[in-house]
Structure 1
Amino acid sequence: MTDVILGKPSRTPWNRNDKRGLAISAVAPFIAALVVNGVIYAARWNAYPAFDAIRLDPPGWLMSAAWLVIFPLWGAARWYAYQTGLSGRRASYWIVALMVWSLLYPFLVAGANPGVSAGATLIAFGLALAAAAQARRVSKRAAWLIAPSLLWIGFAAILSFAALDTA
């Protein structure tokens, strides 16, 4: 239960170097994503008229479910990276930045035009690429845990640019 960098007991439960730390690291982002999804549905931000004309637009429940899988994967990736030492701690900041951006994303694009959504999605994709690259330097497992989100965010980018054509 000591911090791998400081050699002292970790002050934060999600940085513990045991299974409890890993579990907390996965569950906390899941809860954050669950709360954000609840806000999205409560505010009825889950309807994007610009996406209605796109044939590949998945139903809202599928998008929510995908994020509820991706966020715990990111949390686990952050934990694995963090456990590798000082360079892993630095890599974990990229993963945290990706999580924060992705939690803010719905609030930034709610009611915005498809161009804003496309731009925000490109930023998310760039952050995911950077986080995966930084994580890979310290933990291949962490990079693999980020990989599914690259596919999902890439798909979202395709949808965003398709919505630009229909707008």
Structure 2
Amino acid sequence: MTTAPVAHRPTWWGLIPFAAAVTVAALLGVLGVSGTSAEYQTLEQPSWAPPSWLFGPVWTILYAMIAVAGWLVWRRTGWNRALSVYALQLALNAIWTPIFFGAGQYGLALLDIAMLWLLIGTTIALFRPISRTAAWLLVPYWAWVSFATALNAAIWSAN
């Protein structure tokens, strides 16, 4: 009995665990952290800081793209080193909000997001030879985290 090539993994069913993983990351980021919008408003912020209502829609789109990117790589290779790095960056993503808002540790949150930024770049580099589409799907995420890193640094400095 032979097994089907990895590239023929079931198309849509495989997306479910990736959607679940990013949903868990998002929920871990907000569970137990209430009033983040109100807290964000009370922080000393740079003039270029976006309004708090923008974060939800942006992250919803980014999380969908993150899930699809992981799924595209998994469809081609199964679980591999690239997806392990992907999982690690998702874990760092999940803990940023509790560190920043829940604990009010802006410096530690900056360290977390800087490591997240590096791991997203690494994930993109590892995904590129497997699926250019997957790699490109992570570029807006990397750009947003770049912006968020600068915002985190400015807030840490001002508060």
Normalised by the length of structure 2, the TM-score is 0.80
Partner of 2:127: 135
1:39-50 paired onto structure 2 within 5 Å: 39=31, 43-46=34-37, 47-48=39-40
Q: Does structure 2 retain, via aligned residues, the 8 Å contact 1:25–1:72?
A: no
Equivalent-residue separation in structure 1 for 2:70 and 2:86 (angstroms):
6
- Cα offset, 1:58, TM superposition: 1.6
Q: CA deviation at 1:38?
A: 4.8
1:164 aligned to 2:151?
no
Q: Quote the Cα distance in structure 1 between the aligned partners of 2:92 and 2:53.
A: 21
Counterpart position of 2:6: 4
Whether 2:106 is the aligned partner of 1:114: answer: yes
* TM-aligned CA deviation for residue 144 of structure 1: 0.7
Q: For the structure 1 residues 25 and 74, does the alpha-carbon distance in structure 2 shift closer, same or farther, using more than 3 Å as the test? A: farther
| Offset at residue 35 of structure 1 (A) | 2.8
| Higher normalized contact order (CA 8 Å, seq sep 6+, divided by chain length) | 2
The more displaced of 109-118 and 62-71 is 109-118
Aligned-residue CA RMSD (Å): 2.8
CA distance in 2, matches of 1:44, 1:84: 41
Identity %: 21
TM value normalised by structure 1: 0.77
**Aligned residue identity for 1:146:** L
Q: Structure 2 stretches of 5 or more lacking a match?
A: none
Cα separation, partners in 2 of 1:164 and 1:105, compared to 1, 3 Å:
closer
Give the Cα–Cα distance (whole angstroms) in 2 for the partners of residues 164 and 38 of structure 1.
20
CA distance in 2 between counterparts of 1:154 and 1:78 reads 20
- How far 1:118 sits from its partner (Å)? 1.6
1:70 aligned residue (51, 62, 69): 62
Task: Give ranges in structure 1 of 5+ residues lacking alignment.
Answer: 8-15
Q: After the TM superposition, which parts of structure 1 deviate over 6 Å for at least 4 consecutive aligned residues?
A: none
Which residue of structure 2 lines up, in the alignment, with residue 102 of structure 1? 93
Aligned length: 155
Render the CA deviation track for 1:10-36: whole Å, top value 9, x for unaligned: xxxxxx5312323x2453245325534
Residue 106 of structure 1: CA displacement?
Answer: 1.3
